[in-house]
Amino acid sequence: MDKITTYRQYVQDILKKYQALGDGSPVSEVETQLVFDKEHDHYQLVNIGWRQGKYRTYGCIVHVDIRDGKVWMQHDSTDYDFVGKFLEKGIPSEDIVLGFQSPSKRPYTGFAVG
């Protein structure tokens, strides 16, 4: 399997695992949906639904792209260590871009700059 195919599988597996952590919660009517655009390599977790039956909830909680052979962590509003999970799977730090960091700060993160 080539590197990009492997990265795609790792990203999907990790996002699915995170989604499964919240399954079965009776707290609210909010669903965490997986959104995989495999053709363009965009991967997201989105919350959608209603809290307490009256507060609309919709928003991206995690967004990962694969671009130019690198895994781009575009957004993460969780306390789950997605980047750590990518590293554990074997994605090297030089193939992970912290896209939520400003380009001027990326050289100091220990990860790829883009």
Give the mean pLDDT of 75-102: 97
pTM over 0.85: yes
Q: Which residues fall within 8 angstroms of residue 72, CB to CB, at 6 or more apart?
A: 64, 65, 66, 97, 99
pLDDT band (50, 70, 90) for residue 1 = confident
pLDDT at 24 over 80: no
Q: What are phi and psi of 45, to 5 degrees?
A: -115, 130
pLDDT at 25 over 70: no
Fold that domain 3-108 belongs to in CATH: TATA-Binding Protein (3.30.310)
pLDDT at 29 over 60: yes
The domain locations on the chain are 3-108
Question: How many CA atoms lie within 13 Å of 64's alpha carbon, on the beta-carbon side?
Answer: 27
Query: CB 17: neighbour CB atoms within 10 A?
Result: 11
The backbone region for 90, taken as left when phi is positive above 0, alpha when psi lies in -120 to 50, beta otherwise, is left
pLDDT at 80 over 80: yes
